[in-house]
């Protein structure tokens, strides 16, 4: 059943089947519907890898996103949580 907020249902379902979060799948599906898959695929890559970030920067980013339990995570767990969000 198509949802009004999802502009490209096929892309959304494909991403969800691969294990992406609902939020991430919706963001990618809507961007590709508006700009085209080729253009969306070229986006990104402007920030350094999370491995290069300090723990403080990772904590700030996790706070912005709203990741629960971030204060008790070590750097590797923060990186994993940010990548999986």
Confidence check: pLDDT of 21 > 90: no
67-76 confidence digits (pLDDT tens): 999 999 999 9
Kindly report the pTM of this predicted structure: 0.49
Are 85 and 65 a contacting pair, CB within 8 Å?
yes
28-40 confidence digits (pLDDT tens): 888 777 666 656 6
Rounded Cα–Cα distance for residues 35 and 57 (Å):
31
Rounded Cα–Cα distance for residues 32 and 36 (Å):
5
Overall average pLDDT of the 17-43 stretch: 74
Rounded Cα–Cα distance for residues 25 and 33 (Å):
12
């Amino acid at each position: 059943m198509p949802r009004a907020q999802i502009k490209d249902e096929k892309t959304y379902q494909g991403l969800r089947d691969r294990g992406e979060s609902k939020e991430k799948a919706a963001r990618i599906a809507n961007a590709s519907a508006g700009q085209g898959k080729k253009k969306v695929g070229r986006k990104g890559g402007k920030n350094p890898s999370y491995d290069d970030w300090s723990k403080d920067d990772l904590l700030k980013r996790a706070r912005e996103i709203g990741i629960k339990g971030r204060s008790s995570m070590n750097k590797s767990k923060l990186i994993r949580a940010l990548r999986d969000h």
